[in-house]
Structure 1
Amino acid sequence: MIAQLNRSFNRLADHQDAGILLLRLTIGILLLFHGVAKIEHGVGWIVQMLQAAGLPGFIAYGVYIGEVVAPILIILGVFTRVSGLIAALTLVVATLMVGIGNFFTLTKVGAWALEVEALYFFGGLIITLVGSGRYSVVSNPDYR
């Protein structure tokens, strides 16, 4: 009986391409909010942090690629694997810049202080590994 229920549920829930689309939309849209904030408020504070660390300030403008361009491409399913990797690497850089001190920190409710960054990082990495799926703006001739 349990096996039959499991098979029935699996038939109902077996929509891998819809799952990939949902993942792409979730990671892309939520990461894009961060990019929109950078568009509205600028990246001056990032420039200052980079310069304080002895790095050239113009590197800060790369955040627009990682938090605006890549998420839009992820949402659309265009250059999805590359965009997923760019998003993941953007989170590595962001974590190294502002969150590395929280690596071994838990919040008051017992959550890892970097769990949001980890979700974006692994979401981008998963998108890199699975690609756009069937539902994308550009058809993928290599899709199996």
Structure 2
Amino acid sequence: MTESTVPEGYSPHFRKSRFTNPWEPLFSKTLAREVSIGLVLSEAHCNSRGLVHGGLIASLADNAMGLSCVAALQEDGRGAPGGLVTITLNTDYLGSARIGQWLATDTHFVKAGGSICFADCLVRADGVPVARASATFKVLQAG
């Protein structure tokens, strides 16, 4: 898979940071209560055995679940929070991914409470689950 074969619905990721810059190009797809993040895996994303690094998987899942919680809060008419802070992040690795595959998140559950949000997601390589993750986030007040 190459950048020119990024799945339909994905566009360059709208949120940039110094932490994720080395992984570019990142892509995202935004739905009502979900932000999916994806990328075509290259050497920069892998360990010495050519497998995607678990830290990359966990970081993408954390990012996607946090952005999905923000989308859910906004969908619920609560406006944009002052940000979210990860309280817990659990990642179970189910398989491996390799250079050239499309890696993407699928946040399939978001519960937005008053000051805490919960989310679960699957991370897939070419559609096959390679990890599942769950997280709890503290909602920060705007201003």
Asked if TM exceeds 0.5, the reply is no
Normalised TM-score (structure 2): 0.29
Rg larger for: 1
Normalised TM-score (structure 1): 0.29
Looking at secondary structure, tell me which structure has more strand per residue.
Answer: 2
